[in-house]
Chain A
């Protein structure tokens, strides 16, 4: 739920895209390695998905996905009216090999992509929505938690 303005301006204040990426990646690794390790298990086992949805990051990610309007471009499991067909459906994110056909699909990469798509794939149609790194990590966690998708 908390999409912190302070974090956002901090992200903006970072000097270059590279610096920003390194920093958010480090932060992500610290926070989300346990989740990343869990993700393949969850994808394989549907019943294990439900408890994972209760973690704070996943919950925050779900709220952020609504408030950033991700569903106007993407079909996203578990998000009402997220039926956009502008970008790819985000139903099997954890099992996908690459992000945007370009980056190896890891949780930190996914978060970095959400936070600043153009820095990773110049000319992409996915816009920079100003998602702060922490929120981007939460969104990535939510998407990973969907496993096979609904």
Chain B
């Protein structure tokens, strides 16, 4: 019995030392050009999905959130803040964004798979180590709901319809101008 306990302790110690040695060795391929292993990806995927679902369960969309009234403002904000990394229907992200690892996902798939509350929560909080920034203090809560409302339209939005919306709404706004507007929460 004592021997077994001792064995476990030694194994734990060796494991810990090994992990520390690996961290300090500099051997982990940290470049964005290197893929993480499937195991790492799968674990991160589950981690993010579960953590976002849990955190967002406390978020409630405002009344009549999806009545269409927020979409136009959402489009404008989306073009100013989001499209550089996430692209839009038929529109590529900026070249720097596709070099990120992980690549910022196209949000049409996100909108199909995640709830509005989850999308809002991610805009508000960002996702650590994924490159997704928090927009708290950059956008007001209302503006983040507008972005969410626009993202929710993506699954039914064709590239041509998106281009027409963009055409109708004029030049993309400067993010900095919006930061001042949104910063007054």
What residues of chain A have their CB less than 8 Å away from a CB belonging to chain B? 63, 66-69, 71-73, 79-81, 84-86, 118, 123-130
Q: Does the CB pair B102–A86 fall under 8 Å?
A: no
Residues of A within 8 A of B104 (CB): 69, 72
B36:A71 contact, CB within 8 angstroms: no
Q: Identify which of B36, B95, B99, B106 contacts A72 (C-beta below 8 A).
A: B106
Q: A62's closest neighbor in chain B, by CB?
A: B35
Q: Which residues of B contact A69 (CB under 8 A)?
A: 93, 97-100, 103-104
Which of these, B36, B91, B98, contacts A67 with CB under 8 Å?
A: B98
Q: Across the interface, which residues of A come within 8 angstroms of B108, CB to CB?
A: 86
> What residues of B have a CB within 8 angstroms of the CB of A128 in the complex?
92
CA distance A71 to B103 in the complex (A): 8
Report whether B90 and A118 are in contact in the complex, using a CB–CB cutoff of 8 Å.
yes
Q: Determine the chain B residues whose CB is within 8 A of the CB of A66 once the complex forms.
A: 33, 35, 101
Does chain A have a CB within 8 A of B133? no
The 3 tightest CB contacts between A and B, nearest first, are A69-B103, A127-B92, A80-B35
Q: Which residues of A contact B101 (CB under 8 A)?
A: 66
Q: How many residues of B contact A (CB 8 A)?
A: 28
Task: Answer whether A72 and B92 are a contact pair too, CB < 8 Å, given A123-B160, A125-B159.
Answer: no
| B-to-A contact residues, CB < 8 Å | 33, 35-38, 41, 87, 89-93, 95, 97-106, 108-109, 158-160
* B109 close to A85 (CB less than 8 A): yes
- Given A69-B104, A73-B106, 18 extra CB contacts under 8 A: A66-B33, A69-B93, A69-B97, A69-B99, A69-B100, A71-B103, A72-B103, A72-B106, A80-B35, A80-B36, A80-B37, A81-B35, A81-B41, A118-B90, A123-B158, A123-B159, A127-B87, A129-B98
**Could you tell me the distance in whole angstroms from the C-beta of A147 to the nearest C-beta in chain B?**
20
Query: A63 — nearest CB in chain B belongs to which residue?
Result: B33
* CB atoms of B103 and A124 under 8 A apart: no
Interface of B is mostly: loop
A72-B105 contact, Cβ under 8 Å, with A67-B98, A127-B87, A127-B92: yes
Complex Cα distance A22/B108, Å?
Answer: 34
A126-B103 Cα distance, complex, nearest whole Å: 16
Highest count of chain A CB atoms <10 Å: which of B92, B97, B105: B92
A68 to B101: give the CA distance in the assembly, Å.
10
Chain A residues with Cβ below 8 Å from B158 are 123, 125
CB distance from A3 to the nearest CB of B (A): 10
Chain B neighbourhood of A72, CB < 8 A: 102-106
Cβ–Cβ contact A79 & B35, under 8 A: yes
Chain B residue nearest in CB terms to A118: B90
5 contacts between A and B (CB under 8 A): A72-B103, A80-B38, A81-B36, A85-B109, A127-B90
Known contacts being A69-B98, A81-B35, is A124 close to B106, with CB within 8 Å?
no
Shortest distance from the beta carbon of B41 to any chain A beta carbon, whole Å: 5
Let me know if B102 and A81 touch, CB within 8 A. yes
Neighbouring B residues of A130 by C-beta, 8 Å: 92, 95
- B91 near A127 with CB under 8 A, answer yes
Alpha-carbon separation in the docked complex, A146 to B5 (Å): 50
Smallest Cβ distance from B155 to chain A, in angstroms? Answer: 10
